[in-house]
Structure 1
Amino acid sequence: ISDQFWVYDIATDSWSQIGKLPYPLAGAELLAVDNALYLIGGWDGQAAQREVWRYSPPAEGAPAADTDSSTGLAEWALITRMPTARAFFGAVYAKEEIYVIGGYDGQQEEQRADAYMLSTNTWRELPPLPTARGGLRLVYDGLDIVALGGGWTHSLDTNERLDLNTNVWSNFPSPLPGEWRNFGAAEYRGRIYLLGGWSGDYLDIHLQYQSSFSLLLPVIKND
């Protein structure tokens, strides 16, 4: 568990430490939304946390608003708290809301799902996950919220997706049944990429999943 806060410069292929987290954390989520970073929940070594923190990096050539003037290090601002404490959950930004789903509360895996509207600083509860999941990943594929993996204390054979238009969950087969958790996941150009993780041992896998596709049909005109 660490409070280190580093930034990677792609152009120079270099790392630099720009500050610290509010306190040491593991199992937290970090999201980039517009021009800010959001640090959500996590485990501090003794208990799951509820806090949501924001850091706004300075624009190129602009003064650093979220920086301690005496140390030059980044400062985090507490903006809200989740309805429940959790760690090792999934989080993703979609349609102007941050979705926080599943996780581990220190005693058991979670089914709870919530969404945070940044513009109004309010939370709303969503239909719960059909299956409790800890160590899952969340991805937004442009249509649905996709919950992948998990299984902290039990094996899972399916993944689940939330239709944002109907707020209804459905499931689909998992490419790696079992206790698959704490892996990397990202959506890129209609495909979901899954990397590594844990399933009784460390994994070196790289999977690709196409969650949706478009089919163009010819237009038939009646003369």
Structure 2
Amino acid sequence: MTRPLLVPFASLALLAPLPAAPAALAHEVGAWAGASSAPAERSEVAVAALDGKAYVIGDYNGATELLIYDLATDTWSKGAPFPYPVHHTMAAEQGGRIYVFGGYVNGWEATDRVWAYDAAKDTWQPRTPMPTARAAGGATPLDGTIHVVGGSGSGRGNVRSHEVYDPARDAWTRAADLPTPRDHLSVQNVEGRIVASGGRIDGDSGKNLSANQVYDPVRDAWSEAAPLPTARSGTASAVLGREVFVIGGESNRKTYDEVEAFDLPGNVWRALARLPTARHGFGAVTYKGRIYTLTGSPRPGGDKSGTVEVLDPNNAAPAR
């Protein structure tokens, strides 16, 4: 198997995108570059971006330091520690703050607690708890609010709850439940709708799903969409244009290097150059047309890394 091109970050150059091709004949596209490793290894984190920086929150192994990656300078710093050890938490940016929802504490106890991080003051403040304690779900901003979708509770049983946080009012409302309850899923906002892809049943990575469902806030309703081509969970995900990129993940046997992008208006998936370091329990953010993947475990379970790899989806990679 020919691996995707991996070049030094500074030398990554833009090329024209390849023309569209029929699915059966399409080649994987995109090129990966290495970037500066995190100052500490992490897995089962939440990652969110604010003002050109990516924030890595939580850790499966109990670290609480906030890791901050400057996307423009490829450098790392540290911020105020999260108030307690947490893993499988969820995070999203809204209104100039990073909000962190739930996660597992004290081992595998799902919490309902919510925190807001003020980057200017480097401080954490508590907010109104979630109606449903959960971990390993998804959180994404939409129209001034943050939608928290799916996940699992204490004991790792799935919750289908879909709850909406309004930072301006520090208050919660409920929305239509996720049709297929699952955890370790990808949840992203694309063009005013929410796409929920992949995941697993009751925390069991031997029961991965290809489910792909779309939420319309105008109708407060979910619909089925083209399934994720590679069923997996523990993925990182990010949005560029009208596509959701679902990256990596795990099963009970392996970690994945698949990178698949879902075009919401077209209801179609395409494959891109494979992730150089297959891993799960990590996060991704976008910056200037590229996708940055941060930390994660290269083996199924509780391993960790400081790996940072960057995808330019417009560069051509060698065909496999």
TM category, shorter? 0.7 to 0.9
Q: Which has the higher strand share?
A: 1
State the Cα distance separating 1:138 from its structure 2 match: 2.2
Residues 91 and 137 in structure 1, CA contact (< 8 A), matched pair in contact too: no
Residues 158 and 177 in structure 1, CA contact (< 8 A), matched pair in contact too: no
**1:30-45 maps to which residues of 2 (within 5 A)?**
30-45=139-154
| Structure 1: unaligned runs, 5 residues or longer | 59-63, 65-73, 214-223
| Structure 2: unaligned runs, 5 residues or longer | 1-103, 105-110, 316-320
1:77 alignment partner, SS class: strand
**1:1-223 maps to which residues of 2 (within 5 A)?**
1=104, 2-46=111-155, 47-58=157-168, 64=169, 74-106=170-202, 107=204, 108-155=207-254, 156-176=256-276, 178=278, 180-200=279-299, 201-212=303-314
Change (3 A) 1:148 1:118: same
State the Cα distance separating 1:177 from its structure 2 match: 5.0
- Matched to 1:207, the amino acid is E
What is the rounded CA distance, in whole Å, between the counterparts of 1:39 and 1:164 in structure 2? 20
State the Cα distance separating 1:124 from its structure 2 match: 1.2
State the Cα distance separating 1:165 from its structure 2 match: 4.2
Could you say which structure has the larger radius of gyration?
Answer: 1
State the Cα distance separating 1:159 from its structure 2 match: 1.5
Change (3 A) 1:4 1:95: same
What is the rounded CA distance, in whole Å, between the counterparts of 1:202 and 1:94 in structure 2? 30
Residues 192 and 209 in structure 1, CA contact (< 8 A), matched pair in contact too: yes
Q: How many equivalent pairs are there?
A: 198
What is the rounded CA distance, in whole Å, between the counterparts of 1:23 and 1:167 in structure 2? 31
Change (3 A) 1:97 1:143: closer
What is the rounded CA distance, in whole Å, between the counterparts of 1:31 and 1:157 in structure 2? 24
- Matched to 1:117, the amino acid is D
Cα distance per residue 1:2-55 (max 9 Å; x no partner): 222110112211111112222331101111112111111111023111111011
State the Cα distance separating 1:174 from its structure 2 match: 2.1
Match of 2:23 in 1: none
Change (3 A) 1:121 1:109: same
- Matched to 1:161, the amino acid is A
Residues 132 and 161 in structure 2, CA contact (< 8 A), matched pair in contact too: no
State the Cα distance separating 1:127 from its structure 2 match: 0.9
Higher relative contact order (CA 8 A, sep 6+): 2
What is the rounded CA distance, in whole Å, between the counterparts of 2:257 and 2:120 in structure 1? 41
What is the rounded CA distance, in whole Å, between the counterparts of 1:90 and 1:135 in structure 2? 8
Alpha-carbon RMSD across the aligned residues, in angstroms, is 1.7
What is the rounded CA distance, in whole Å, between the counterparts of 2:180 and 2:138 in structure 1? 15
2:126 alignment partner, SS class: strand
What is the rounded CA distance, in whole Å, between the counterparts of 1:82 and 1:5 in structure 2? 21
- Matched to 2:286, the amino acid is E
Moved over 4 A (4+): none
What is the rounded CA distance, in whole Å, between the counterparts of 1:86 and 1:138 in structure 2? 16
Tell me the percent identity. 27
2:262 alignment partner, SS class: strand
- Matched to 1:36, the amino acid is T
What is the rounded CA distance, in whole Å, between the counterparts of 2:116 and 2:215 in structure 1? 26
State the Cα distance separating 1:144 from its structure 2 match: 2.0
Residues 195 and 213 in structure 2, CA contact (< 8 A), matched pair in contact too: yes
Residues 141 and 211 in structure 1, CA contact (< 8 A), matched pair in contact too: no
What is the rounded CA distance, in whole Å, between the counterparts of 1:131 and 1:154 in structure 2? 14
